[in-house]
A and B are shown apart, each in its own frame.
Chain A
Amino acid sequence: MRAPRTKPIMKTRSFTVGYLLSFTGSLGLALAINWLGNHSSLFPSCIRPSMGDRAWKTRRLDEASQEGRLPQVIILGSSRMMQIQPPYVEAITGKKTFNYAVRVGNPTDFLAELRYLLKIGCKPEMIIAGVDDSAFAYQSIFLGNFGDEIFGHMGLFLEVPLQEKVRILASVLQRQDVGSTMASLSGLASQVAWIDNLRQVMKRKPRTSPRVQDADMMLLQDGYVVFCRHLLARQNGTFKLEDNLEENIRDFGSRMCTAILEPAARYLDEFEAFLSLAHKNSIEVHVITTPYHPEWIRRVFNERVQHARHELARSLETTCHSYGAHYMDLSDVRSFQGDPNEFYDAIHQTATNIQRMVNVIFGLPARSIASVVPSDLEITSNPPTVTSLTTQ
């Protein structure tokens, strides 16, 4: 009688090899789907490019570079600086301006952005850099890890210092999960016309474009941002600054204090490297510390935090002067005659305050109007063609 046939057992080493191959293969496949489908907007995907402000704005600069209309004045900083309107600065300086400020922008972004500008042949004559005094924190005070979005543009990412590069890469990889893979796969499927059409038929809803009314932010081609939701709420009379302040204080008041109390040496080094690079290239740099709502300062910052802020401002001033940069501490609204009612929340201001701030930077009377530029309402009611709408 013949012995029953049994399935062959693998050679012992082959099992490990097979395991590792299927493990790396599965992970690689998931990563490829995530990269191309780019649901997290963290990857420089050729099919679905990243819509994070770092990548989006850098692509606008790439286009400007290709078309030979490079800016001469660059605005850097966080979302608090994104509201500086380039046409207003252009009216004062007479030079083409681009707002390269990004959400939760920190010294890593400053350095990488300046390096990238120089790499693509854009040597600005002037840089206005707005520094948040919490931007030197070791850990980002925001949960969203916006800094990782720099990976969304490979050219920009390559200009990031090596230590940060490793950290960002590790963080981006760690943020890939089953949910983002499925969403990316779905995103890729929507690129295929017949699948997308089939979906629309099954949903039985007409295809709609994103609307300004539903967006939190609108990014314009020159890098300017309009806070649509706040703006429309103000227009409708439903806006309540007090509520927004309360929400901010509750959500990240203590984290902001921790961030100010624990600045990281490497961010201070990167800020110095940024100033040094600008100095070497004879770029005029104006550094300001960005303002807070007075109520926030009163309620959130205790004596210890205030002391740390003053120390940081003194240190920034010394560093700026050693590289020939101008420094202004505008964290108190009184320094530029800012109106506490002209805030959207604890840190973001309306166009009125922003214009006063810009006036002071350029040595103009705070309440003067250098030029009449389109208001935010005019922009939202008639948006330009190249814009990006963002919801959080």
Chain B
Amino acid sequence: MLFNSYEFLFLFLPAAFLLFWYGGRTIRWRLGLLTLASYAFYSWWQFESWSDFASTLHAQSSEELLHNLWRWRFTLIMFLSSSVDYWAAKWIVATPPQKTVTRKVLLATSLTVNLGLLGFFKYSGFFSQIASDLNQFLGGGSLPVLALVLPVGISFYTFESMSYVIDIYRGIATPAKSYLDYACFISFFPHLVAGPIIRYSDMLHQFRDSNWVRPRPDWNHVNLGLLFLTIGMAKKLLIADPLAERINPLWTAFGADINLGVIGSWAAVLGYTFRIYFDFSAYSDMAVGLGHMFGVKLPQNFNSPYKATDPSDFWRRWHISLSTWLRDYLYIPLGGNRNGKQLRNLMITMLLGGLWHGAAWLFVIWGAWHGLLLAVFHVLKNWQLVPSNEHWLGYWFNRHITFFVIVIGWVFFRAADVHTASYSYSSILPAVEMLSQMAGLHGFAPSLQASPLPGSSFWVLMAACWLWCNFAPNSFEVAYSVRLQKRYALIAGTTMALCILKLGTPVDFLYFRF
């Protein structure tokens, strides 16, 4: 179920909200309801209709039963992942600290299950293609390449689940009070399919907060929820989707080997740069808003990333929950800044971060590009070659140069979608081709068959996006600083109505595929 769909906004959300706040006031009821609702929300993706769903509820033979279970595989995988981690953590806590081997085995079991699921569903195709290519290179024949459907959100909840067990193992987190607490933390629908990637420590105290068992809604939370939800909807439906409408024909033409020229290629890439920000941050805003509506505060995931003054600053502002996860569970365990291995550790972290986004060479290259940017930045900074941000000239130079290199990075990211065979080495070529078109190596003007370049409305939209990203406060700054007055209620309500009128056929969020 998408947040930007009629069934979610007009059926699921009101029903879940009313049942949550008015159905019962015990913690068990609220955790149970949220878990059940979240599983229903997640299971929705597996079925085409109610009758399709109903058909999986009965079986007349063992074959049919297996078939039905396979239809529920996404839900079952999430249940399996949650259960293994909950029990692994519970046993780690129950094992005396001196029994290090047992604790390590339990941790390894949990990590193996999570990484195994992720590896099987997300990376088996990629690595089987590499094996096939290698086999061919060595003179053998091609090997079968697996093509599996990726369970929605698996990259997000496996990371959340792993962080819980690792924190328990390290002794820095409090174990979940019950399986219901843990299942609710993992499956809580606002963050389930596209983040933010939360830690159990973020949720624990909130689940046990006295506000959570109030007989009536916590209106402060609800108001913030509505505000965030509206901002997210507006970003998605009034900015990201119209941008997509305008740049997708350009990318389609590019995919058909048509030269877009300098203007067309820059329009396609800059359009994508803004689209991915507004699309992904819209989802995060909606997630935070929905969390508030159920009395839970989720962490900030975007902090005006295009205002970054250097690559390191960018990663403190972009997909914050992922970058902090990579920092805490990968970069620091690798050694972090110590022992003079900072550059190596940065590169490994960013390569794996790139691979987290998708099993494709271009995502690996995107990660490597950011690893390189971070490494170069740190070297330049150590040599004191980075202009100071204290002077306005240096500040704006840094911001623009950072923005430029980030935009170049998005070429690799977006080009991964140009050809479906993203596992093969040849999938890298579109990015090279796009960069050469941006550099004007194929001429300034687009080829004759190119779809018409975006009109003035596109450039107005781009200018608005640029102004917004560079000068406007972000959602958190707006929502947490605004004084709730009548006019804001009026503006927000009307904006939401406008979004509903723009809903039409819901468009997926870009980050769903990761």
A residues neighboring B (CB under 8 Å): 6-10, 12-27, 30, 170, 174, 176-178, 181
Contact = CB atoms under 8 A, between A and B. Distances in A.
B100 interface: no
Given A12-B223, A22-B493, A178 B486 contact: no
A19 B226 contact: yes
A170 B491 CA distance: 26
Given A10-B485, A27-B501, 14 more contacts: A6-B483, A7-B485, A9-B485, A10-B486, A12-B223, A12-B484, A16-B219, A16-B489, A17-B489, A19-B493, A22-B491, A22-B497, A174-B503, A177-B503
A42 to B, nearest CB: 15
A10 B484 contact: yes
A23 B485 contact: no
List 3 tightest A-B contacts by C-beta distance, closest first: A22-B493, A18-B489, A26-B497
Classify the secondary structure of B's interface with A. helix
B486 A26 contact: no
Interface of B: 6, 219-220, 222-223, 226, 483-486, 488-494, 496-498, 500-504
A16 B485 contact: no
B502 A178 contact: yes
A179 to B, nearest CB: 9
B223 A15 contact: yes
Contact of A27 (B226, B485, B488, B497): B497
A20 B485 contact: no
A16 B501 CA distance: 21
Contacts of A30: 497, 501
Contacts of B489: 10, 14-19, 22
A14 B220 CA distance: 11
Interface centre among B492, B496, B497 (most CB of A within 10 A): B497
Nearest to A30: B501
A23 B501 contact: no
A10 B489 CA distance: 10
Contacts of A177: 501-504
A18 B502 CA distance: 22
Contact of A181 (B488, B491, B501): B501
Contacts of B491: 22
A13 B498 CA distance: 23
Contacts of B6: 170, 174
Contacts of A17: 489
Contacts of A15: 219, 223, 226, 484, 488-489
A30 B497 CA distance: 9
Nearest to A177: B501
A215 B57 CA distance: 51
Nearest to A27: B497
B362 to A, nearest CB: 32
B493 A23 contact: yes
A161 to B, nearest CB: 16
Contact of A23 (B223, B484, B497, B504): B497
B484 A9 contact: yes
A12 B498 contact: no
A23 B486 contact: no
A21 B501 contact: no
Nearest to B220: A12
A177 B504 CA distance: 7
Contacts of A170: 6
Nearest to A10: B484
5 contacts: A14-B486, A17-B489, A19-B493, A30-B501, A177-B503
Contact of B498 (A18, A19, A26): A26
B236 to A, nearest CB: 15
B484 A27 contact: no
Among B226, B494, B500, B501, max chain A CB count under 10 A is at B501
Contacts of B497: 22-27, 30
Contacts of A25: 493, 497
Nearest to B497: A26
A20 B493 contact: yes
Nearest to B483: A9
Contacts of B500: 27
B493 A26 contact: yes
Given A10-B485, A176-B501, A177-B504, A16 B223 contact: yes
A27 B498 CA distance: 8
Contact of B494 (A8, A12, A14, A23): A23
A16 B502 contact: no
Contact of A16 (B226, B483, B490, B494): B226
A270 B504 CA distance: 29
A82 B488 CA distance: 54
Contacts of B493: 18-26
B502 A19 contact: no
Contacts of B486: 10, 14, 18
Nearest to B492: A19
Contacts of B490: 18, 22
Nearest to A29: B497
Contacts of A10: 484-486, 489
A324 B490 CA distance: 62
B497 to A, nearest CB: 3
B233 to A, nearest CB: 11
Given A18-B486, A18-B490, A23-B494, A174 B219 contact: no
Contacts of B502: 177-178
Contacts of B483: 6-7, 9
Contacts of B501: 27, 30, 176-178, 181
A174 B489 CA distance: 24
Contact of A26 (B222, B223, B484, B494): B494
Nearest to A31: B501
A11 to B, nearest CB: 8
A360 to B, nearest CB: 38
Nearest to B238: A178
A171 to B, nearest CB: 10
Contacts of A178: 498, 501-502
Nearest to B221: A12
B295 to A, nearest CB: 13
B494 A22 contact: yes
B377 to A, nearest CB: 43
Contacts of B222: 12, 16
Nearest to A264: B51
Contacts of A18: 486, 489-490, 493
A127 B413 CA distance: 61
B499 to A, nearest CB: 10
A285 B336 CA distance: 82
A323 B500 CA distance: 46
A14 B497 CA distance: 18
Nearest to B488: A15
A9 B484 CA distance: 6
A170 B501 CA distance: 13
Contacts of B494: 22-23, 26
Contacts of A22: 489-494, 497
A290 B32 CA distance: 55
Contacts of A23: 493-494, 496-497
B399 to A, nearest CB: 34
A10 B6 CA distance: 30
A178 B501 CA distance: 6
Nearest to A173: B6
A5 to B, nearest CB: 13
Contacts of A174: 6, 503-504
B496 to A, nearest CB: 5
A378 B86 CA distance: 81
